[in-house]
Amino acid sequence: MQKSQEGLLQTLLYQVLRQYPALILTICSTRWHANGYLDSEPWTRIDLFGAVEHLAYQKLLPARFCFFVDGLDEYVGDHTELALSLKQLATSPDDIKKYVQSKLQKNFRFRDLLEKDLRCNQIVHDIAKRAQGVFLWVYLVVDSLLKGLLVEWDDVSDMQERLDFFPINPKCAQEAQVAPLQDSEIEPIYERTKGRLNARCRDLLEVNIDFSEMSLLKYKVDFLHRTVRDFLQANVLEEILKDSKLADFDPYIYLCRIMLSLVKVLPVNREIMPVLNHMFSLSDLLDELDLVNKKHTQGMKFHWTNARDAPQGPFQEYKQNTFLALTIRDKHGRPLLDYALRPAIVTPVQLPQQDEGPDSLMVTLLLEKGADLNQKIYIYDGQTTWGLFLRLCYESKISGRELRSEKRWYDVMKALITHGADPDIHLRIKNQTFTVLDVLSKLFEENEANHLKETIANKRPRPGI
């Protein structure tokens, strides 16, 4: 039991209550009976956590406790949960407010400002409110404020700006101002970020410079070695996060916020336009992203989404595209389903995921939302989305090149056939005509091809029905 979380918490509570018996009634209130004795039943985890919470917020004694917890390498249990339990002991909103006040009050510049501007008190209140019990965040904020007061001679507005710079607000990306960075501002950010990554990630991540890119985009964060990526992809990261308190954490939402924040500081440059077309987000992030990109491209005579038009050929949207059109299926030119099935076709910026081929989940989602895979596309001479995908797969296969996208073809084909792909179309390739069954036999092993053919047969209407 000494190596368990229960044993640790019982030991800490015992040592505290042994020195301060007056706290027993407060800390153990749920186990104290009216006739004057304590419940002798074994402590449950709920009891222990409740007692720890009472201890953290007790106001009976003006006491401070210092705990030294040794032997964590021998601990048996969830280390994340243990860390959160110990952090709870060290967390109190009142403590944070007192810490902020005491640190700032020691600064003569802050005292002078406080006499002239009562907004200084509001800054202290805001720090305690935004901290959400995270002392490390408070330390970083206060340290930044003190440096600003001592070195930059900040006033109250400057202090508020520094405070707002430390994000904990989920809407920080939407609320941030559009402020393209100058080249002179980017280098210090690079140096600071490199130092932080080195200190916090212990050389697992590093910042590389790609001189073929421009300004901000030439700095790339990557794994030090591909074995780090392999290690994390081997379900290790999933195991780490599985039992943590981050159950509501959505990495895709956070990546969208990061991309939106990046767009807001990108230097305005003609060459940056293709990049803007890949900055997609969700819900209200989309509206803010559209406004930002409109501001970046206010000199253009057409909407920013049309910047991805190919310069010639049948792939153009004829400058009629809109941001809304990117989120719905019924739009002029190329359907969304075709983008999903053939992501690498006429895309100005080469993205890593394009080489992986179509995403079956995205394809299925579009189909479930009503995308018509048998729709004829006028910019492709009336060929259907389904036929174009068959042609792409067949021509890629006979090219003899080894493609990473091949492993996704089967799932996508199955989804398309299940959602009503026309089994009777014919493809004309190099003066030869191929049926759907011919293409399936060429693309897949016998078992997979037969399964898809069986699916097609089951989808055909039976005679007399």
Question: What DSSP assignment string belongs to 443-456?
Answer: HS-HHHHHHHHHHH
Residue 386, pLDDT score: 92
Please check the confidence at residue 311 and state whether its pLDDT lies above 50.
no
Residue 75, pLDDT score: 77
> Who has greater pLDDT, 406 or 249?
406
> In this prediction, what percent of the chain has a pLDDT beyond 90?
5
Mean pLDDT of 165-181: 77
Distance, in Å, from the CA atom of 439 to the CA atom of 427, rounded to the nearest integer, reads 9
Distance, in Å, from the CA atom of 130 to the CA atom of 162, rounded to the nearest integer, reads 13
For residue 95, give every residue at least 6 positions away whose Cβ sits within 8 Å of its Cβ, in sequence order, or none: none
Query: What CATH number was assigned to the domain covering residues 325-459?
Result: 1.25.40
Please check the confidence at residue 184 and state whether its pLDDT lies above 50.
yes
| H-assigned helices in 304-373 | 336-341, 360-368
Distance, in Å, from the CA atom of 288 to the CA atom of 264, rounded to the nearest integer, reads 10
> Which CB contacts under 8 angstroms, 24+ apart, belong to 296-303?
296/178, 296/180, 296/263, 296/266, 296/268, 296/272, 297/273
Please count the other Cβ atoms lying within 10 Å of the Cβ belonging to residue 115. Answer: 9
pLDDT tens for residues 334-383? Answer: 788 888 888 766 544 333 444 567 888 889 988 998 889 998 887 788 88
Residue 312, pLDDT score: 46
Global confidence as pTM = 0.40
Q: Tokens at residue 173, please?
A: 């990306």
Q: How far is C-alpha 435 from the geometric centre of its chain's CA atoms?
A: 43
Residue type, 351: L
For residue 263, give every residue at least 6 positions away whose Cβ sits within 8 Å of its Cβ, in sequence order, or none: 276, 279, 289, 292, 293, 296
Tokens 């280098």 belong to 187
Distance, in Å, from the CA atom of 245 to the CA atom of 266, rounded to the nearest integer, reads 34
CA angle at 51 for the pair 30 and 125, rounded to the nearest 5°: 120
Distance, in Å, from the CA atom of 108 to the CA atom of 99, rounded to the nearest integer, reads 17
Q: Is 11 left (phi over 0), alpha (psi -120 to 50) or beta?
A: alpha
Residue 351, pLDDT score: 39
Residue 310, pLDDT score: 47
> What integer best gives the mean pLDDT of the chain?
77
Residue 387, pLDDT score: 92
Please check the confidence at residue 314 and state whether its pLDDT lies above 60.
no
Residue 58, pLDDT score: 77
DSSP state of 235: I
pLDDT tens for residues 88-105? Answer: 666 655 777 888 888 898
DSSP state of 233: I
Where does the chain hold its CATH 1.25.40 domain(s)? 325-459
Q: How confident is the model at residue 384 (pLDDT cuts 50, 70, 90)?
A: very high
